Structures are given as C-alpha cells and as structure tokens.
Amino acid sequence: MPAILITGADGQLGRAIQLQVPQSPDWTFYLTDRPNLDICNPAAVNAFFEAHRIDFCINAAGYTAVDRAEAEPELAAAVNRLGTQHLAGACQQHKATLLHLSTDYVYHTPQNTPFEETDPVMPQSVYAQTKWEGEQAALRHCSRTFVVRTSWVYSPFGNNFLLTMLRLGRERAQVRVVYDQVGTPTSAFDLADALVHMIQRIHSGEVSAEAAAGIYNFSPEGVASWYDFALAIFEKTGNPIEVVPIRTIQYPTPALRPPFSLMSKEKIKTTFQLSIPHWRDGLDRCLARLEQP
C-alpha cells in the first residue's frame, strides 16, 4: 500500500489532508514541515528519501506570502523553485510520484475565458514567477510529476480570506472587498480530497503516472469575485455586516493579482474520473469544521 510524504504538513492543505485521508492502516504518511525536513537543503531531502520508502510526495510546502515575496524574492525562489527541484530529483531517483501544488496566479493574461493547462502563462509577481519556475523544475527533474494549479485556498487554519472575513465581521459593521478579481474559492478540504483521489487512481493502476504526468487545474465548480465570496461567508454565518464592493485600484497591494483566473477542470475530471463540488458546498463543509470543538 502507498507510503506518502507530505511536505508543508503544518499548513492549510497539509492539515486538511490529515483530516481527510483514508483511515486505513495500510496507508503510511510521513508528515513533515521545515523543522523535520527542510526542502531547501538537498542533502536533507536525499537523506529522508534514503531512510524511508516513498511512493508519493505531495509538495504542499511553499512560500505563499504573496505581498511579502516582493521584498523577499530570494527566499521565495529558494522555497518555491529550489526546494521543489530537490524534491523532484529525489522522487525521480527513488521512483516516487510527485504531486506539486501551484497557483492560478501564473495565468495573468488578458484572457477572459476559463484557462486551459496549455494556455500561455504570464506571472506578474515574485510569488507567481517563483511558483511557475517551481512547476518547470518539477516537470524537468521528475517524469512522474503532476503539477496541480489551484486557486484562492482557504481553510480553518492559518491565515486566509475566510478567517480574515470572520475576524473583521466580529470587529466592524462594514468591510470593503474587491469585486473586479474573478476566480474560484477552493476549500483546502476539497483540494485534499482531489489529491487523495488522484493517488488512489494512480496507485491502483487506473491512471499511469508516466503517461498522465503533466499540469492539471483544480478548483471547485462555479465562479466568484472576492466580493461574492465575502457575501457568501457572511450570509452562511448569519452576520448582517455590510459588504461594500470596491475596485482593485482602491485597494493597492505590493503584488499584482490577476483580474481573471477562472480555470477549466476538464482535464483532471476526465483523466481521474473526478467529481468536483461547487465552491459554495465547499464553504459549507469548511464552516462546519470551524464549528467543531
């Protein structure tokens, strides 16, 4: 049965995977974060793979502070590009399959129809550029790499839009949220389910890791702006706070965000026979998790 390494296990996705994974004792998980596996250290990565049998690696580690990356480009590149390269090389050497998480932010072009995996990319921030470079490193150094581009990830853990809105809803009578950035909110639990499903299909032989390797888009179904997402959060939590729509130009940030990053999921649905829920259903599940003790 599969042995799975999860890097970034203390982050949003890593923690969601731990709650969503099959409870079968036949699945072995190695949960790592920087204190016990620094992916920026190639010797440490190689030593870990030498010491453990790894069939799959979910690389959920990453420098994800989008705005701070503008001031820390070398650190962002070390984690997002070099760290990924080290993992990919180890996966190739040890015949493991790599599932590497990337971002819709690489799709920063004037296109206004859902992005296919083959569409041109145009990363316009340090974060997006280093994530794109990480994708290329993963694909170049491991022939069994699945790059999974996702969008607007949120969860009950860490720092994200959902938790920010819930905090502001307790502190204010009004929030201002941009309406001219469009994409799809992704619950970390929905993303975790998709990755586990991919591993199950590959491990069973229903999908060939060699033949199907490449880039895949994943987010829930549906479309939203950040304004729409905020409205849904307050609607579902019964908070009467006023949400005021504003333009991006009224909320400047150090890093540019793409105005449109809606992605087509036809490739992942067809290849993996994957059923994808609507983002509002994912929000319901995530809020239910928040309510649990």
Question: For residue 53, what are the contacts with CB-CB under 8 A and spacing of at least 6?
Answer: 3
Tokens of 12: 């949003």
Sign of CA dihedral 216, 218, 224, 229: negative
Confirm if 262 and 223 have CB atoms less than 8 A apart. yes
The number of CA neighbours under 13 Å toward the Cβ of 258 is 27
Active-site residue 127, yes or no? yes
**How is the chain split into domains, by residue range?**
3-153+187-220+263-276
Beta strand 224-225 with 182-183: parallel, antiparallel or unpaired? antiparallel
What tokens appear for 287 in the block?
């809020």
Read off φ and ψ for residue 138, nearest 5 degrees: -65, -45
φ/ψ bin of 273: left (φ > 0), alpha (ψ from -120 to 50), beta (otherwise): left
Are 80 and 130 spatial neighbours (Cβ–Cβ below 8 Å)?
A: yes
Residue 47 DSSP SS3: helix
Catalytic residue among 127, 154, 179, 216: 127
E-assigned strands of the chain?
3-7, 28-31, 56-59, 97-103, 145-150, 153-154, 174-178, 182-183, 186-187, 214-217, 224-225, 242-246
Collapse the DSSP code of 12 into the 3-class scheme (helix H, G, I; strand E, B; otherwise coil) and give the result.
Answer: helix
The CATH architecture assigned to 3-153+187-220+263-276 reads 3-Layer(aba) Sandwich (3.40)
Q: Model-level pTM?
A: 0.95
Tens digit of pLDDT at every position of the chain (293 positions): 899 999 999 999 999 998 877 656 688 999 999 999 999 999 999 999 999 999 999 999 999 999 999 999 999 999 999 999 999 999 999 999 999 999 999 999 999 999 999 999 999 999 999 999 999 999 999 999 999 999 999 999 989 999 999 999 999 999 999 999 999 999 999 999 999 999 999 999 999 999 999 999 999 999 999 999 999 999 999 999 999 999 999 999 999 999 999 999 999 999 999 999 999 999 999 999 987 65
